[in-house]
Amino acid sequence: MPVLLVGILGFGLTACGDTPQAKLRQTVFDVSSAYHVAATPMPDVMAGKVPGVHLSDEQKTLVKKSSQTVVNELTVLETAIQNNSTLTQTSVSGLQSALLSFQTCWAGVKAGTIPDACKTGDTSK
């Protein structure tokens, strides 16, 4: 249950490197893994193939938008890592926030609700 641990630990996973950059890079890899685990069932749920879970068009749109935000953030940071560019805490925090918003939206819509965070992007609600 890596996704639950990430949410519970608040992304406080220990990085494998000693430098601040190594720790930021490891955080990006950790968030990427958590996102992919969380997003794995999306295609089947969106297609209505999961018994008991039926999403409205509005819910599908919100989840897709939230998911795309994570993908966009990941793409930028993974490209920076590949180019050996410097990462900032702000950019990595943005990725973490995007993942938390996605997890909140995804869990809510699967349960039949539309969380406020899904509508606003605010994960503090």
pTM above 0.95, yes or no: no
Classify residue 11: in a domain, yes or no.
Answer: yes
Classify residue 125: in a domain, yes or no.
Answer: no
Contact 101, 123 (CB under 8 A): yes
Contact 90, 35 (CB under 8 A): no
Q: What pLDDT shows up at residue 119?
A: 76
82 lies in which domain range? 2-120
Classify residue 86: in a domain, yes or no.
Answer: yes
Mean pLDDT of 4-20: 52
Q: What pLDDT shows up at residue 49?
A: 93
Select from 7, 12, 5, 29 the least CA-distant residue to 103. 7
Mean pLDDT of 12-22: 69
Highest mean pLDDT among 57-61, 88-92, 120-124: 88-92
Mean pLDDT of 33-49: 94
